Amino acid sequence: DTGVSQDPRHKITKRGQNVTFRCDPISEHNRLYWYRQTLGQGPEFLTYFQNEAQLEKSRLLSDRFSAERPKGSFSTLEIQRTEQGDSAMYLCASVSRVTDTQYFGPGTRLTVL
């Protein structure tokens, strides 16, 4: 257990539905990252927050995706009008100022039917 939690751990939804995932980072970590991992691939960067500011977004993050980090604490990732291609593991990581190490949560596995 790295101290980063994600909820839910699994989500099954029908195409066209909206889903929202939550990430709770380690409390003193000011930076938070979202990644997506598909079967047989390494994680790919989606977006990055420093405190509450979203500083970078990948081109992978289409208009259907939105992420927030109100008050610089937990973060949410919402996918609107889900498509089958959105099926993946969504990973969250928070970063220690001291060690510059990314600590990953267990991930949310999304299945779009």
Partner 1 sequence: AQSVTQLDSQVPVFEEAPVELRCNYSSSVSVYLFWYVQYPNQGLQLLLKYLSGSTLVESINGFEAEFNKSQTSFHLRKPSVHISDTAEYFCAVTRGTSYGKLTFGQGTILTVHP
Binding site for partner 1 (CB under 8 A): 2, 4, 33, 35, 40-45, 48, 56, 91, 93, 95, 100-107
Nearer to partner 1, 30 or 80 (CB): 30
Q: What does the angle CA 33 – CA 50 – CA 9 come to, to the nearest 5 degrees?
A: 30
Give phi and psi for 85, each to the nearest 5: -70, -10
CA distance 32 to 49: 5
CB of 84 to partner 1, least distance (A): 22
Considering the complex, state which of residue 14 and residue 99 has its C-beta at the smaller distance from partner 1. 99
Peptide bond into 25 cis (omega under 30): no
Nearer to partner 1, 21 or 33 (CB): 33
Is 96:104 a contact under the CB 8 Å cutoff?
no
Q: Least Å distance between CB 99 and partner 1?
A: 9
Q: Which is nearer to partner 1, 27 or 99 (CB)?
A: 99
State in angstroms the smallest separation of the CB of 109 from partner 1.
Answer: 10
Report, in Å, the least distance between residue 94 CB and partner 1. 12
Residue 30 region by backbone torsions, left for phi larger than 0, else alpha for psi between -120 and 50, else beta: alpha
